[in-house]
Amino acid sequence: MTAPQAQTHRRRLRRAARRRSRRRDADTSPWDEEELAFEDEAGESTLEQEAERRVRVVRETVHFLIVIGVLALFFRPAAFWVGLFWGFGLAKKWSRLFIEPELRQRWIDREVHRRLDREVGAHRRDVEGQHSRSMGELAAGVAEEIRSPIHSAKALVQRMGEDPASHDNVDHAGVALEELGRVERSISHLLRFAREGDFRFEPVDLAALINDVVDSFDERVRSEGIAFRIELATPGKISADRDKLRRVIVNLIANAFDAVATVTRPEVLLEAGHDLAGAEVWIRVRDNGPGIPTERIEEIWSPFFTSKEDGSGLGLAITKKLVEGHGGQIEVAEPPTGGSEFIVVLPRDRARLEDSR
């Protein structure tokens, strides 16, 4: 076997190996294999043709220099005209094969970088603007949450100062302490909301965790007469922060129980399972309460938004933050039978999710 034949044989063996590898990984059909083989051969053929054209141009350039050198020694006018016309065509070939592709690639890279910088800058401005709006809304919520009780406590203390001997001062002091207690609780909830950032991931048996949380609601289920159903489709273990995931489940169940407080026959359904691929697990909490108005669905995730008289407005905001900290998503829906439904989707293996990103 000659050297060119051996090289051709090695190329065929490499192509066959690549086809077998692609067929094994992607489980392709014979028609797909033939298409892949055609693409391989076409790609290699294009590269070989490009290389061959460049070699021919270089060879022609060498011949050009030799011819021009010989003519320049014996017949300079002929060297001038031959060099002019032949050199012009040769320069076009050099430009087309060596200079133009480089310039084209350089301009494309420059345009891509320019558009990428512009899009990244626009995205950064959008994120910063959204962050500023969120901070502004949060600051406004904090101010609104603590201004009223402080104003009430201040008015009561001023009234006590105007008449220190009044018999109502004890009642005024009690009310003032309650109002200041509201401020303290609001600040405490806000600090907890801001500090929910350190996660310690470990393998967690989701079904066992849910059953543990459900057991803690036994007394409330009996006292309020709630029909509480639990359906667990063996969700298995996931990578999660046990305490924070427990808080998510507690918040969703407590929120559902609060929603059915005014219903004649309160019902709450808690379900958990996994997708067909086993890559994600889901938790669904459904109630038959009054539901959430459509125009307020987006507002329920905002800090200090609440429809409860004694609510802090941070329960769902903290829940959403904890779910997103696990790399998951939380959504709210309206079941056909009424009420509301919260669905949490979590990746089973968060480390694999980060690697894929």
Residue type, 213: V
pTM value? 0.52
For residues 189 and 317, what is the distance between their CA atoms, to the nearest angstrom?
11
How much is the pLDDT for 35? 46
pLDDT tens for each residue of 77-129: 777 787 787 778 888 888 887 788 888 888 888 888 888 777 777 766 775 66
What is the per-residue burial (b if ≥16 Cβ within 10 Å, else e) of 114-127? eeeeeeeeeeeeee
What φ, ψ does residue 346 adopt, rounded to 5°?
-125, 140
- pLDDT score for 355: 47
Counted residue by residue, the chain has a size of: 357
* pLDDT the model gives residue 163: 78
Sign for the pseudo-dihedral over CA of 200, 201, 207, 208: negative
List Cβ neighbours of 244 (8 Å cut-off, separation of 6 or more).
196, 199, 322, 325, 326
Contacts of 319 (CB under 8 A, 6+ apart): 247, 248, 251, 252, 330
The 8-class DSSP code of residue 97 comes to I
pLDDT of 346 reads 93
Other beta carbons within 10 angstroms of residue 45's beta carbon come to 10
Sites in the chain below the pLDDT cut of 70: 1-45, 123-124, 127-145, 148, 185-186, 188-197, 235, 303-314, 350-357
pLDDT at 237: 86
For 49, what's the count of Cα atoms within 13 Å in the CB-facing half-sphere?
A: 6
Task: Quote the CA–CA distance of 198 and 276 in Å, as a whole number.
Answer: 31
Q: Please tell me the predicted confidence (pLDDT) of residue 32.
A: 47
The pLDDT value recorded for residue 68 is 78
Report how many helices (DSSP H) and strands (DSSP E) the chain contains, helices first. Answer: 10, 7
Q: What is the C-alpha separation between 332 and 354, in angstroms, rounded?
A: 25
